[in-house]
């Protein structure tokens, strides 16, 4: 039964193999999404603000729209934490013995990954639009950081959509009922429910040995002095 699985993972209690874990497509996509979030956050947090020579206040390079920079920084930091959480869940997932809990985890993966894919699509459109309408050379000086943030926002749409698709494939696999429900029996309950049988069998020999006779209704026929009382 080693090949049987529930929602993409085998029976709980198996040893963790880091090499196999890192080779899984979902793990690769999570690591790539994690790296993309770092790039986006770093580009906007470090190079996303600029000030003119005569001004002390810093402006967002995306058309001086503070909301654009705040959106990029927020999305990058939250996506980073979400990727870390999903990686931790993937490591712990094979140890979950309950099929219902595994189903909930997979459904959460589908929903959150699809949500992040949509949010990155919104972020890409927002940042690209604000960068397109930006005016002035002072903003174009840091164009590499802006273009990098926009580019990796676009790539993040597909990495998160890929995670949602792989989670949906795991959901379709479902649970192998033969492994997780029908074939499993609690040993204590199995022993308690077994019928009791005597150690020596159904027929017990008399202490004197030599092939004692079993008790039967014919042994009490009244010849031994016992008489039935009638009322």
pLDDT value of residue 10:
56
SS (H, E, C) 81-147: HHHHHHHHHHHHHHHCCCHHHHHHHHHHHHHHHHHHHHHHHHHHHHHHHHHHCCCCHHHHCCHHHHH
Span 86-120, pLDDT tens digits: 999 988 888 877 778 888 889 999 999 999 999 99
Q: Which domain holds residue 137?
A: 18-182
Q: By CB neighbour count within 10 A (0-12 exposed, 13-18 middle, 19+ buried), where does 191 fall?
A: exposed
In a domain, 108, yes or no: yes
In a domain, 6, yes or no: no
Element (H, E) at 50: strand 49-50
Going by the DSSP 8-state scheme, the letter that residue 230 receives in this structure is -
Contact assessment for residue 70 and residue 154, using Cβ atoms and an 8 Å cutoff: no
Structure-block tokens of residue 4:
């049987």
On whether the pTM is more than 0.95, the answer is: no
Angle between helices 25-47 and 66-92 (to 10 degrees): 150
Q: What is the pLDDT of residues 205-220, one digit of tens each?
A: 444 444 444 444 544 4
Is 210 among the domain residues?
no
- Minimum mean pLDDT range among 75-79, 167-171, 205-209: 205-209
Residue count (the chain): 231
Instruction: Encode pLDDT of 19-33 as tens digits.
Output: 888 889 999 999 999
Taking 60 as the threshold, does the pLDDT of residue 193 lie above it?
no
Q: What is the mean pLDDT of the chain?
A: 76
| Residue 212 in domain | no
Is residue 191 a part of any domain in this protein? no
Examine residue 103 and state whether it is found in any structural domain, yes or no: yes
Three-class DSSP category at 64: coil
- Tell me if 199 is assigned to some domain: no
Number of domains the chain is built from: 1
Q: Is 32 helix (H, G, I), strand (E, B) or coil?
A: helix
89 found inside a domain: yes
Burial 199-216 (b: 16+ CB within 10 A, else e): eeeeeeeeeeeeeeeeee
3-state DSSP percent of the chain in helix, strand and coil, to 5: 60, 5, 35
Report pLDDT for 53.
Answer: 63
């Amino acid at each position: 039964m080693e090949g049987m699985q529930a929602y993409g993972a085998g029976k709980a209690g198996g040893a963790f193999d880091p090499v196999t874990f890192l080779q899984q497509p979902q793990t690769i996509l999570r690591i790539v999404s994690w790296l993309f979030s770092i790039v986006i956050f770093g580009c906007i947090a470090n190079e996303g603000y600029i000030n003119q020579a005569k001004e002390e206040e810093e402006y967002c390079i995306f058309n001086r729209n503070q909301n654009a920079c705040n959106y990029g920084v927020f999305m990058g930091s939250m996506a980073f934490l979400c990727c870390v959480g999903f990686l931790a869940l993937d490591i712990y997932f094979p140890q979950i013995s309950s099929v219902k809990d595994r189903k909930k985890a997979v459904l959460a993966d589908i929903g959150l990954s699809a949500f992040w894919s949509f949010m990155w699509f919104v972020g890409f459109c927002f940042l690209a639009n604000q960068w397109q309408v930006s005016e002035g050379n002072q903003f174009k000086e840091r164009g590499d950081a802006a273009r990098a943030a926009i580019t990796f926002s676009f790539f993040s749409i597909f990495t998160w959509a890929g995670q949602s698709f792989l989670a949906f494939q795991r959901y379709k696999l479902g649970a192998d009922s033969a492994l997780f429900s029908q074939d499993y029996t609690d040993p204590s309950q199995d022993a308690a429910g077994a019928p009791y049988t005597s150690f020596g069998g159904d027929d017990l020999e008399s202490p004197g040995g030599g092939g004692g006779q079993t008790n039967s209704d014919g042994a009490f026929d009244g010849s031994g002095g016992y008489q039935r009382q009638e009322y």
